Amino acid sequence: FVKYFDIGAAAGAGCFDREFTAVYTEDCSVFEKCSRCKFVGYCSAEWQKSEWRRDKISLKPREVIFPYDEFVDYFNWDNQELAPCGLMNCGNSCFANVILQCLSWTRPLVAYLLENGHKRECMHDNDWCFFCEFQTHVERASQSRFPFSPMNIISRLTNIGGTLGYGRQEDAHEFMRYAIDMMQSVCLDEFGGEKMTPPCCQETTLIQYIFGGLLQSQVQCTVCSNVSDQYEN
């Protein structure tokens, strides 16, 4: 008979989908289980090697986490009825308010949250998720006619960034960086996390499409004039 199992994103294999097939026959004189997975059985070492070679060829990484054409649709999204909504100061929260306002009117991000939404796909069932909270914030801002307090986010500053604290004056750029990093991390968590997701795949999230880029550092030797370039995501 034939036995198969899949290892995909739900099993923690990142953005790879793979299928193994093990065939058990009555005339198999030597039957040994794979020393790695302890599940798949082979009748000979030669058969095992041939199966591994075949699977290695068929295992092609899914290089795109978020389809780029969907990002383009969100980028061109136009909702004439959406009007800006003010935010109330919660005590030295101006640095966060200004970033929340900017993020709340970043077209492809808002379009994704209002049209599709992150909550239904979130894997943080019992943990606080900034992306979920920000979606709630955007939904409230799109429906409210009066300024409101973003206290649900402000009260969680320590969860957003380790150095941020409620009631203190903080740097707006630092808060923005922490917020974007958190949304990117949430996107990668759905595919096994940053360590399990290849760098090429990490560049294909919705957050990376919107805010991503490369920082180039260039060093030139004063003796030989050789130029060294380094790029950081």
Q: Dump pLDDT digits (tens) for 25-79.
A: 455 655 666 655 555 666 776 776 676 666 544 444 457 889 999 999 999 998 8
What is the share, in percent, of the chain residues with pLDDT greater than 70? 74
* Sign of the dihedral through C-alpha 133, 138, 141, 143: negative
Hunting for tokens 């004189």 — which residue is that?
A: 29
Residue 153 identity: I
Q: How far apart are CA 18 and CA 205, in angstroms?
A: 21
Ordered by start, the domain boundaries in the chain are 2-58, 68-216
pLDDT 10s digits, 154-187 = 999 988 987 887 878 888 999 999 999 999 999 9
pLDDT of residue 10: 42
Q: Which two tokens stand for residue 198?
A: 């290849």
Backbone angles phi, psi at 42, to 5 degrees: -130, 150
- Where is pLDDT greater, at 206 or 23? 206
Q: Residue 136: is its pLDDT beyond 70?
A: yes
Token output for 132: 């979920």
Question: What pLDDT is attached to residue 214?
Answer: 82
67 in Cβ contact with 144 (< 8 Å): no
What is the C-alpha to C-alpha distance for residues 125 and 9, in angstroms, rounded to an integer?
A: 17
pLDDT tens for 5-22 read 343 444 444 444 444 444
> What is the residue-averaged pLDDT of the chain?
79
Q: Does domain 68-216 have CATH number 3.20.20.140?
A: no
Cβ-contact 131, 122 below 8 angstroms = yes
